[in-house]
Copies of this chain bind each other. A is one copy, B any other.
Amino acid sequence: MKNIEDVREGVKAIAERAKHASRSMATLSTGLKNQALVEMADHLEENHHWLIAENRKDISTGEKAGLSRPMMERLQLTQSVIRGMSEGLREVARLSDPVGEVVKMWERPNGLRVGKMRIPIGVIGIIYESRPNVTSDAAGLCLKSGNSVILRGGSEAFHSNKAIGQILRQVLVRLKIPEDAIQVVPFTGREAIREMLQLEDQIDLIIPRGGEELIRFVTNHSKIPVIKHYKGVCHIFIDESADPEMATRICLNAKVQKAGVCNAMETLLVHEKVARPLLKKIGKAFRKEGVELRGCPKTRRILPSIKKAVEDDWYREYLDLILSIKVVNGIDEAIEHIATYGSSHTESILTSNYQNAERFIREVNSSCVLVNASTRFNDGFELGLGAEIGISTSKLHAFGPMGLEELTTTKFIVYGNGQTRG
Given contacts A220-B223, A250-B420, A257-B420, contact A399 B376 (CB under 8 A): no
Q: Are B414 and A383 in contact (CB under 8 A)?
A: yes
A252 / chain B contacts, CB cutoff of 8 Å: 420
Q: Which residues 219-243 of A sit at the B interface, judged by CB distance below 8 A? A: 219-220, 223, 225, 227, 243
CA distance A121 to B420 in the complex (A): 35
Q: Are B27 and A418 in contact (CB under 8 A)?
A: no
A368 / chain B contacts, CB cutoff of 8 Å: 411-414
CA distance A219 to B201 in the complex (A): 13
Q: Are B395 and A362 in contact (CB under 8 A)?
A: no
A227 / chain B contacts, CB cutoff of 8 Å: 396
The 29 listed contacts between A and B (C-beta, < 8 Å) are A108-B383, A108-B384, A112-B373, A112-B377, A119-B365, A122-B395, A204-B396, A220-B223, A225-B394, A225-B396, A243-B418, A250-B418, A250-B419, A254-B420, A257-B420, A366-B411, A367-B411, A369-B413, A370-B416, A372-B416, A372-B418, A372-B419, A373-B414, A373-B416, A374-B419, A377-B416, A383-B412, A396-B397, A400-B410
A106 / chain B contacts, CB cutoff of 8 Å: 384
A333 to chain B, nearest CB (A): 15
CA distance A255 to B210 in the complex (A): 50
A395 / chain B contacts, CB cutoff of 8 Å: 121-122, 204-205, 409
CA distance A59 to B339 in the complex (A): 45
Q: Does A155 contact B (CB under 8 A)?
A: no
Q: Are B223 and A225 in contact (CB under 8 A)?
A: no
Nearest residue in B to A421 (C-beta to C-beta)? B376
CA distance A227 to B397 in the complex (A): 11
Given contacts A339-B23, A365-B119, contact A414 B246 (CB under 8 A): no
CA distance A409 to B344 in the complex (A): 13
Q: Are B419 and A377 in contact (CB under 8 A)?
A: yes
A372 to chain B, nearest CB (A): 4
Nearest residue in B to A225 (C-beta to C-beta)? B396
Q: Which residues 88-120 of A sit at the B interface, judged by CB distance below 8 A? A: 100, 106, 108, 112, 114, 117, 119-120
Q: How many chain A residues have a CB neighbour from B under 8 Å?
A: 70
Choose among B117, B250, B362, B367 the residue that contacts A100 (Cβ–Cβ < 8 A): B362
Q: Are A411 and B384 in contact (CB under 8 A)?
A: no
A197 to chain B, nearest CB (A): 12
Q: Does A417 contact B (CB under 8 A)?
A: yes
A318 to chain B, nearest CB (A): 18
Nearest residue in B to A373 (C-beta to C-beta)? B416
Please name 6 further chain A to chain B contacts, defined as beta carbons within 8 Å, in addition to the given A373-B415, A376-B421, A400-B412, sorted by A numbering: A27-B363, A227-B396, A252-B420, A373-B416, A395-B409, A396-B396
Q: Are A396 and B377 in contact (CB under 8 A)?
A: no
Q: Are A421 and B384 in contact (CB under 8 A)?
A: no
Nearest residue in B to A410 (C-beta to C-beta)? B399
Q: Does A292 contact B (CB under 8 A)?
A: no
